[in-house]
Amino acid sequence: MANVFDLPVKGLLATSGALAIVIGLALQSSLGDVFSGIVLNLERPYHVGDWIKLDDTLQGTVIETNWRATHIFTSTQDIAIVPNSAVAKSKLINCSAPTKMHGATTRVRLEAALTPMIGSDLMREVLLGSTHVLRSPAPTVSIRDVSADMIDFELGYSVADIGIVDDAQNELFDRIYRATAAAGIRFASRLAPLTTKAATEESESATPGRLIAGISLFSTLTDSEKGALTSQMIRRDHKPGEVIVQSGTVMQALNIISNGVLVATEEQNGRKFERLRLTPGIYFGETGLLTGQPLSGEITALTKAVIYEISKDALLPLLKARSGMADELSELLASRQLARRTVLDHLQANDTHQDSLASRVASDIRHLFSLH
């Protein structure tokens, strides 16, 4: 160029070099994103549809990935656009690989009223009763700390997809609350008084009263009425694998689970499938007791179980003494049925409104108990 065009090569080179530096600095972040995008596309640490976590601060489902950025749909229904250079520098966890199955933990702190092993068995029953927790790998219960005031448990479990972790945890908390209430165990608190030995020793005799207090069907009863029911409750012990109620049985008693896990199964096309699991604090049999309708499935003891029964004869004096109790029970029963669709086994197709369903249930209760 110097010989042919007679140009000042040194000045030209100096000018082009400075221009290259300016352009390079200006495009530094963009070039970083591009080269990071190349690396990510070659390694493929995640794909569209995977649930990923970045530095434990951002998580969601990958909906798009290109040379410059990764688009993540978060749990708050927003779209986060993260530059590929930031993704490459972050600690990335792909929760959808190698499978969509995801592990989670839940901490529970209970008062030291019972031994750690009894508390562990109670937590295992809660895990076995969950509809979201997978059976394989088996859930675990670990004791993290023990003191004079509390026992710290960590429940480890797996779910089929990370998207249902919150649902699983909410269900576990609900079942833990019911199970601890049925067992007479309180959650640990710094301000809670220590449980005395006398209180622990009377725990067994107080069990029926605690169970009655936790049943929504009897929430409107007075203390004396609850006491009358408590005095007539009958304890039943069942072994693992024992069939407690057979399909088609019209139950004549309300059954409240004190300890253990029960499995409700149904048969379709010659095959049995699990419908739900029942854990401490949950009751069943109110359909047959209050309306005379048969049970459509079979209930079996998964573990050693203790159940308290309230017979029809024990409930009859209360229904006759309180004329409005049938309406109260029917409304509670109808609302529970519409919420779960598992209590009344022969729900008609047109019974989709609580008022109409409550009226039908109230009529059945009055007819069954010969009430006016």
For 63-85, what is each residue's pLDDT tens digit?
A: 998 878 899 999 888 999 998 88
Three-state SS at 311: strand
Q: Which of 200, 224, 253 is the last residue of a domain?
A: 200
Question: Do the domain assignments include residue 23?
Answer: no
62/79 Cα distance (integer angstroms): 9
Burial of 8 (0-12, 13-18, 19+ CB in 10 A): exposed
Do both 53 and 137 map to the same domain? no
Question: Do the domain assignments include residue 232?
Answer: yes
State the pLDDT at residue 347: 38
Q: Which of 141, 176, 200 is the last residue of a domain?
A: 200
**Domains in the chain: how many in total?**
3
CATH number at residue 50: 2.30.30.60
Do both 357 and 214 map to the same domain? yes
Do both 74 and 129 map to the same domain? no
Do both 45 and 178 map to the same domain? no
Which residue has better confidence, 38 or 53?
Answer: 53
State the pLDDT at residue 285: 83
Tokens of 333: 């029963």
CATH number at residue 144: 3.30.70.100
CATH number at residue 231: 2.60.120.10
Q: List, for residues 251-273, the tens digit of each pLDDT value.
A: 888 889 988 999 999 888 888 88
Question: Do the domain assignments include residue 230?
Answer: yes
Do both 230 and 356 map to the same domain? yes
Q: Which of 74, 94, 114 is the last residue of a domain?
A: 94
Do both 144 and 274 map to the same domain? no
Domain that residue 174 falls in: 103-200
Q: List, for residues 292-336, the tens digit of each pLDDT value.
A: 778 888 999 999 999 999 888 888 787 777 766 666 666 666 665
312/112 Cα distance (integer angstroms): 38
Contact (Cβ atoms closer than 8 angstroms) between residue 285 and residue 253: yes
Tokens of 202: 């009377």
End-to-end CA distance of the chain: 114
Which residue has better confidence, 70 or 114?
Answer: 70
Helix (H) or strand (E) holding 108: strand 102-111
The mean per-residue pLDDT over the stretch 86-110 comes to 89
State the pLDDT at residue 95: 87
